Amino acid sequence: MKIGLLFGSFNPIHIGHLIIANYMANHTALDKVWLVVSPQNPLKKYGDLINTYDRLEMAKLATDNATNIAVSDVELKLPQPSYTIDTLTFLKEKYPEHEFALIMGSDNLVTLHKWKNYRLILRDYQIFVYPRPGYENAEFASHPSVTITMTPLMELSATFIRKSLAEKKNVQFFVPDSVLNFIESKSLYR
């Protein structure tokens, strides 16, 4: 089985993440997509990340009825900070029957050269790229391992949702109802 890995903090997970995962699982050569909840991205500031287990639970709630999208907590079991190449190596050893590919936004493709062992990633893994506003021409866009997809362009961000929640604005339809109920039950992002 060919599994696409969509890494993220999912702080919180929103419909943009789900649209990307659904597109990749149904409109590319991938059979399934795993949402990999990352405790901390080494290239990002800690900022206002909420508890990892709350983010994991929201991702599970959001994908509860999905047939070809699952949630992975693999990075919670690995040393921190979590580097993509280390997670890929671990998954390849644990699930030798699967082929793993990366899913990333064109904004991440622009900074790929900053990633640990990025040349190994380009050599050994296929990368499916979804568009992000303002990041159309990435250095590795024409690399043989990179597939630029026609995923619907999403300008929705978790930052926007957190800010809206902090300002007590309605975020209905930006996140699944189950996720919104979880956020409200725990007074997250207030």
* pLDDT reported for residue 44: 58
Predicted confidence (pLDDT) at residue 132 exceeds the cutoff of 80: yes
Q: Distance between CA atoms of 121 and 145, rounded to whole angstroms?
A: 9
Provide the edge-to-edge strand list for the sheet that holds 32-37. Answer: 69-72, 32-37, 2-8, 99-105, 127-130, 146-148
Cis peptide before 81, with omega less than 30 degrees from 0?
Answer: yes
pLDDT one-digit tens code per residue, 64-123: 999 999 999 999 999 888 899 999 999 999 999 999 999 999 999 999 999 999 999 999
pTM: 0.94
DSSP 39: S
